[in-house]
């Protein structure tokens, strides 16, 4: 009668209790037969499952992650956030390293540039490009008029001589 009762009970109707141990049974119900297998006799491997390739893929990912993790430096080789902040603050505090005049001297500050500009000749002592161009044009015009004067004098001399 126990077998008949077992066949008539649906697995979904069985109570769920506690943990599974190796001595517990797995009930396999088919259309013609119901069987029980002890958990300690079940061996699930990559070779006898349909998800073996997924397991292989996961092993590859684990290997890659292991390589990455192994490449990460040890904690002894790294600085804490506070240590980095302290080091950066010390490096960025240049008030004791260079004075303002030293910075101005080294990097030609506005004050230095202004002083150099002021030391140049006053604007009245120099010509701008347009003024130079006008003077050159005036000199060329004078030279041309002198050439024509010289030519007319030469013609008069030739007329007197000849």
pLDDT of residue 121: 54
Distance in angstroms (rounded) separating the CA atoms of residues 138 and 145: 11
Distance in angstroms (rounded) separating the CA atoms of residues 53 and 29: 28
139 φ, ψ to 5°?
-65, -45
Whether the pTM exceeds 0.95: the reply is no
Could you give the angle at the alpha carbon of 21 between the alpha carbons of 18 and 23, nearest 5°?
A: 125
pLDDT of residue 62: 93
Which is it for the CA torsion 43, 49, 52, 58, positive or negative? negative
Write out residues in the chain with pLDDT < 50, as ranges. Answer: 1
């Amino acid at each position: 009668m126990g077998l008949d009762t077992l066949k008539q009970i649906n697995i979904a109707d069985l109570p769920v209790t506690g943990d599974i141990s190796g001595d517990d049974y797995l009930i396999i119900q088919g259309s013609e037969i119901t069987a029980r297998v002890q958990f300690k006799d079940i061996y699930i491997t990559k070779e006898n499952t349909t998800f073996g390739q997924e397991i292989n893929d996961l092993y590859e990912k684990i290997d890659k992650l292991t390589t990455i993790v192994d490449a990460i430096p040890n904690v002894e080789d790294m600085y804490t956030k506070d240590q980095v902040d302290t080091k950066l603050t010390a490096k960025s505090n240049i008030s004791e390293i260079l004075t303002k005049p030293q910075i101005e001297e080294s990097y030609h500050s506005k004050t230095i540039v202004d002083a150099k500009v002021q030391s140049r000749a006053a604007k009245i002592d120099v010509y701008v490009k347009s003024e130079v161009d006008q003077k050159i044009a005036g000199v060329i015009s004078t030279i041309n008029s002198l050439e024509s004067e010289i030519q007319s004098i030469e013609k008069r001399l030739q007329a007197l001589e000849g």
